């Protein structure tokens, strides 16, 4: 055993001294590359596990076909009108439901966080809720390139599942439209594309309406001279309508983490209808 160990160490040392590199190769029973001139697809037959798995901070790729991972950063700020209604601080949201926000995202990727992420930090970095963030194609904003769950802090900063870091996407550095959605607010999309790369570039979508598609029709004016996503979309169809209000009526008097809790205080009451949803009746997403 000692001889084998010595031999391996010697080979590894020699290899590192020679500074050689080996191109990535695939050995498989079958596979090919197909191209139509604009799109190229590589495939390998016989792989049992080929998916990409991510918890938001660590990404695991599987299978023979491995690309070069580039993690681009999105450091964005938005505000939620509903969470501003009960806030005692200008330009800052309430975190009243922080203790009942689930550790598993309510969105389709079902990312999870450590419960400690929802601890009280005593400052504007407290987590308010989950949001859903999308990257859209620069040439066709209807095409979603990537999407993921993220967290939003009291000051509106959108952060990763560690509760503090900018969110990442495994995409090439390029120009993208950014979209932010919340479970009972109307989503917004940037008015123009933004250059995303490994550089931490900050964009504030709460400071003025010109930064968002639809301008004043897409955002609500809130305290501190800021602008926020419009509350009232209970069923998540991109519109605030009587159907949202009628569905909320059936839940009056209940409590918990529910989309009917428009002002995000943990209670479903008439104030959620009269002060949140009803004033926005008839409004819709602008993208």
- Smallest CA-to-CA distance from 101 within 180, 155, 161, 54 is with 161
Structure-block tokens of residue 103: 């550790």
Does residue 38 fall inside a structural domain? no
Q: pLDDT tens across 214-247, in order?
A: 999 999 999 999 999 999 999 999 999 999 999 9
Query: With contact defined as beta carbons under 8 Å apart, do 166 and 73 qualify?
Result: yes
The reported pLDDT for the residue numbered 71 is 94
Q: pLDDT tens across 177-225, in order?
A: 999 999 999 999 999 999 999 999 899 999 999 999 999 999 999 999 9
Query: With contact defined as beta carbons under 8 Å apart, do 211 and 205 qualify?
Result: yes
Does residue 13 fall inside a structural domain? no
Does residue 120 fall inside a structural domain? yes
Residue 20 has pLDDT above 60, yes or no: no
Q: pLDDT tens across 263-285, in order?
A: 999 999 999 999 999 999 999 99
Domain count, the chain: 1
Backbone phi, then psi, for 182, in 5-degree steps? -135, 150
The boundaries of the domain holding residue 274 are 71-280
Does residue 58 fall inside a structural domain? no
Does residue 24 fall inside a structural domain? no
Does residue 53 fall inside a structural domain? no
Does residue 37 fall inside a structural domain? no
- Smallest CA-to-CA distance from 189 within 155, 223, 144, 152 is with 144
């Amino acid at each position: 055993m000692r001889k084998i160990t010595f031999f391996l160490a010697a080979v590894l040392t020699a290899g590192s001294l020679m500074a050689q590199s080996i191109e990535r190769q695939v050995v498989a029973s079958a596979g090919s590359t197909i191209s139509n001139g604009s799109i190229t697809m590589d495939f390998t037959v016989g792989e049992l596990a080929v998916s990409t798995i991510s918890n938001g901070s660590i990404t695991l790729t599987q299978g023979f076909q491995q690309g070069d991972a580039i993690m681009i950063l999105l450091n964005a700020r938005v505000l939620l009108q509903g969470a501003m209604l009960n806030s005692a601080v200008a330009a800052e949201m309430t975190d009243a439901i922080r203790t009942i926000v689930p550790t598993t995202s309510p969105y389709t990727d079902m990312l999870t966080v450590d419960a400690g992420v929802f601890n009280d930090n005593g400052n504007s970095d407290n987590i308010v809720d989950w949001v859903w963030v999308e990257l859209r194609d620069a040439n066709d904003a209807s095409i979603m390139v990537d999407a993921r769950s993220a967290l939003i802090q009291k000051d509106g900063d959108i952060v990763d599942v560690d509760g503090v870091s900018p969110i990442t996407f495994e995409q090439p550095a390029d120009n993208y439209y950014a979209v932010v959605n919340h479970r009972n607010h109307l989503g917004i999309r940037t008015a123009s594309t933004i250059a995303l790369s490994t550089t931490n570039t900050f964009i504030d979508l709460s400071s003025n309406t010109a930064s968002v598609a639809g301008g004043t029709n897409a955002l609500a004016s809130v305290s501190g001279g800021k602008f926020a996503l419009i509350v009232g979309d209970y069923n998540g169809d991109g519109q605030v309508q009587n159907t949202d209000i009628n569905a909320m009526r059936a839940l009056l008097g209940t409590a918990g983490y529910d989309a009917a809790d428009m002002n995000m205080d943990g209670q479903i009451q008439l104030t959620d209808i009269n002060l949140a949803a009803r004033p926005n009746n008839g409004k819709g997403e602008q993208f």
